[in-house]
Amino acid sequence: MIIYIVGFFVIAWLPFLPPLYWLLCFPIVLIFSFYYFRSLRFQLLALMAGLTIALIYGHIQLQYRWHSSDAASTWRVEGTVDGLPDYKSKHITFNLRISSALNAVEAGVQPESTPRIIRLSWYRTDERLKPGDLLELDVKLRPPHSLWNPGGFDYERWALGRDIDAVGYVKALYVHQPVSSASIDVWRFSLIEWLGNRLRLQPVVLSTLQALLLGDKSGFVDWQWSLLRSTGTTHLMVVSGLHIGVCVLLGWWFGRIIAALLFRGKESRIPHHWLSVVVALLVSGSYVALAGFSIPTQRAWIMAAVLLGAQLVMRRPSVWFRWWLALAIVLTLHPLAVHEVGAWLSFAAVAALLFLVTARQKSAGWLMLLKSQWWIFLVLSPLMLLFFSQVSISAPFVNILAIPFLSLLLLLIVPAMLLEAAGVSWGLDFVGVLIQSLWDGLAWVNGLSDHGVVYIQQPSFMVILFAGLGAVMVLQPISIKLKALGVLCWLPLFVPPQSSVPSGRMSAVVFDVGQGTAMIIRTHGHTLLYDTGAAYPNGNTAFERSVLPYLRLKGIEFIDKLIVSHEDNDHAGGVSKVIEVMRIGAIESGMPDAINVTAQLCRVGVSWQWDGVYFRYIHPKPSLSATDNDRSCVLEVRSKACSLLITGDASVRIEEEVLANSDARAPIHWLVAGHHGSRTSTGVAFLEAYKPKNTLISAGFLNRYGHPHEEVLSRIKAAGSQVFRTDQQGALILDETTGDECRVETWRQKEKRYWTAS
C-alpha cells in the first residue's frame, strides 16, 4: 500500500511529465523483477501501478488546458452553468461546463484544445444565473495562471485538479435558457435563495448557515476569516472531517435505533451492526451531496467509508491498514491530493485520533475530548508550521468547547429548517442566536491576547521532522524519560533564526503581483518594502496574495522602511493592508500627500546605510511638477558586490534628467525596468549609462497594456542585458553568493511542477 502511494508522490513532484510511451518500459521492468528480484515483485508492481495512474491522469488533464496562443481571440461558447454561481456586488463568477466545440468570432481561427470547464467572470450584468442554465456566450479566455511567489497559492494546480481548463470573462450573451430539470445543484441553489430571503438582515447567520449546510463559503468576509485563522477554528466552517464525522455518528445511532425496532427478539442472518454502518454512510453521503461533492468532503467521506466499511467484513483489518487504504483511494481518485494541504491536515488529525483509540485509555467522555484536542494539536502543529509558518496557541482550548457546540448546532439546523418550512420560525431564530453566540465567543477569545497566533520563520524540513517525531513519542505509551526526549525534539523550532543575509550583502525579491510592483530588500538586520502592488475591487490586495506569505515564511513582522513610489493603484493599492498587518518604521513616497498615510518625501540626495549596504534616492526633486509616474521614487542600492536600481514608473525624460545630474554612474547588476516595460521608460541612454547585467520586468500575465513592449525588449537585449519577467517566471529572487556573484533565481523554475507554465 505504501509503495503504491509513493508512485503518486514521484509523479506529482516531477518538473515535467514523461511521455506516455514510458509506460512501455513498465512491463519490461516487471518481467525482469519477477526473474531476478522475486521478493520485491509485489512492491514493484504496486509502484508501477501508482506511477501509471498518476502519469495517465496528468496527461489527460493537460491535454484539455487552454493555450496562451488562443488568448488573443474572442470565442463563442455553449455550455451549462456548473455548480453554484458566486454573486458579488459588481460581477458574477461561475463555472461553465462546455457542451460543444468552441468557435472563434474571427474567421479561420481554431483553438488548440477544447476545455471541459471554464471559469468566467461577468461584469455589470443583471442576469440571474442558476445551476444547469444553458448559455451561449462570447468570451475571452486564457489559461489558469498563478501569481507564483514563495508561500503563495498554486491556482494552476487547484484548477487542474478540478477540471478547470481556462478562465476568462463574458463579453456578450446570445442565449440564456433557464433550467427546467431538477438536480442536486438546483436544490442547493434554491435552498440558498430561500435562506437569503429569510436571513437577509442577518448576514453573519446567513453566511455561516451557507457554509455549514451547503459548503458555500462565498458569504464570509475578511474579519470572519481572520477570526477563524487566529483562533485555529477555520476547520469549523469548512465542510470536512468534523462535519462528516457528526453525520456519521448521527447515522450510526439512527441505524441502531432502526435495528432495535426491526430485529428486536428476532433472528437475522445479517448482523445488526451492518445496518448502523450502512445508515451512517448514507446519512454522511447525503451531506456530502448537499455540500456539493467538493474534494474535501469527498476525502472525508472516503476516510469514513473505509474506516467503517471494515466492520462489514469477517476479518477486520487493523485501523492503520484502513488509514493507508483510505489514503490510497483518495490519491487514486485525486492524484494531485499529495499537494493539498487540507489532505495532509485531515489525515494527520485522523492519525492522532487513531493513536488515542489504539492507546485504549479508559477515561471519561469530557477527558477524552480534552485528550483528543491535545493530541491533534501536537500532531498538526509541525504541519501548520511547515505549511503556514504559524500555529494558533489558543486552538486546542477553543476547540474543546467549539467542537461540541458546533456539533450541537449541526444537529439542530435541519429540524429548525423543517419547522420553518412548516411555518414555525422560532427554531431558525434559535439557531441564529447560537451562531451569533459562536462568533461572539471566538471574538472574545481572540481579544484576550494579541499573540494568539505564533509566527516563526519557516523551519527546515529536518526541524519539522524532529518535531513530528517528538509528537509521536509524546503520544506513545512509553516511559516518562522517552516522552521527555520527545519534548526536547521540539526545541529546535524555538531557536531564534539567524539572518540568512550576511553583513555587507543584500537579498531582494521582485514579487509576481500581476500588473504592478512590489519588492522586498533585506540586509543582515533590516527590511525595506518598495511598493505594495494593487488593490482589487473585491477588497483584496496583491500584497496579501503575494508578499505577506513570504513575510510569514521568513518570520518578518517589522518593516524598517516602506517606500511607495507614487499614488497609482498598481503601486500603492496595498498600503493600508501593509499598515494593518505589519509594524512600520518609516514611510516615504514620491507623492506623500496622496497616499492617505503619514509619509515623508523620498527626496533626491537622501541616503542611508544598513549593515554595510548603501541606499540613496536619485529622484525626485523637491519642487518637481510632473505627472504621477514621473514623481516616482528612484532608489539605488549598492552592497559589497552587487547593485540594484529601481525606477518606479519614471519615464525616459526623468531617466535623462537623472543621468544629467548623477554624480556617479557605475554599472549595476540588477535594473528594475520602468513602468512594467512600457516603451516610455528604460531608454537607450539609460541602458548605455548603467549597463545593467540583468533587467527585471514586473508585469501582469497577458496584461491588456501589452507590457513589456517589444521595443523595450529589443533595447534591453541590444544593451547586452538578460531579461527576467514576473509574468513568465514568477517572483525574481536576487541574492549574493559567497563568491560575490550577483544571482537571479526565478521562483517558477525553482518550484517547477509538471502543470506549471514554463
User: Average of pLDDT values for 534-540?
Assistant: 86
Strand order in 607-610's β-sheet? 607-610, 613-619, 634-638, 643-646, 670-672, 694-697, 722-725
Rounded Cα distance, 241 and 229, in Å:
18
Looking at residue 364, what is its pLDDT? 52
User: Which one has a higher pLDDT value, 138 or 109?
Assistant: 138
Confidence class of residue 363 from pLDDT cuts 50, 70 and 90? low
From the CB of residue 62, how many other CB atoms can be counted at a distance below 10 Å?
A: 14
**Nearest by Cα to 156 from 184, 119, 109:** 119
Confidence of residue 267 (pLDDT cuts 50, 70, 90): low
Q: Of 167-181, 210-224, 235-249, 289-303, where does the model show the most confidence? A: 167-181
Q: What is the pLDDT of residue 60?
A: 94
Per-residue pLDDT, averaged over 603-614, amounts to: 93
- What is the chain's mean pLDDT, rounded? 86
451 pLDDT above the threshold of 60: no
The per-residue pLDDT for 397 is 77
pTM of the entire structure?
A: 0.87
Q: Is the pLDDT of residue 222 over 70?
A: yes
Q: Which of 242, 334, 235, 225 is nearest to 287 (CA)?
A: 242
Whether the predicted pLDDT of 613 surpasses 90: yes
Q: Is 215 helix (H, G, I), strand (E, B) or coil?
A: coil
What is the C-alpha separation between 646 and 518, in angstroms, rounded?
11
- 10-21 mean pLDDT: 90
The grid coordinates of residue 408 equal: 450541537
Res 590: pLDDT: 92
738 pLDDT higher than 60: yes
- According to DSSP, the β-strands at 527-532 and 583-589 are unpaired
- Would you state the pLDDT for residue 248? 84
State pLDDT tens for residues 431-441: 889 999 989 98
**Which H, E and C letters describe 130-153, residue by residue?**
CCCCEEEEEEEEECCCCCCCCCCC
- CATH number of this structure's domain 507-750: 3.60.15.10
pLDDT of 622 reads: 66
The topology (CATH level 3) of 68-181 is OB fold (Dihydrolipoamide Acetyltransferase, E2P) (2.40.50)
Q: What is the pLDDT of residues 70-112, one digit of tens each?
A: 888 899 999 999 988 988 877 899 999 999 888 888 766 788 8
pLDDT of residue 697: 97
- At residue 445, does pLDDT exceed 60? yes
pLDDT of res. 62: 93
For 31-35, what is the mean pLDDT?
A: 74
Q: Is 584 a residue whose pLDDT tops 70?
A: yes
pLDDT at residue 449 in the model: 62
pLDDT tens string 368-377: 666 777 777 7
pLDDT of residue 271: 62
Which whole number is the average pLDDT over 228-235?
A: 79
- Give residue 452's pLDDT: 62
pLDDT value for 175: 93
Percent of the chain whose predicted confidence (pLDDT) is above 90? 42
Confidence of residue 681 (pLDDT cuts 50, 70, 90): very high
Round to whole Å and give the CA distance between 58 and 756: 12
pLDDT tens digits for range 297-333: 888 888 888 888 777 776 777 888 888 889 999 999 9
pLDDT at 515: 94
Binned at pLDDT 50, 70 and 90, residue 285 comes out as confident
DSSP H stretches of helix in 131-240: 155-160, 184-198, 203-214, 222-230, 234-237
pLDDT digits (tens, 9 = 90+) for 235-263: 778 777 778 888 888 888 888 888 777 76
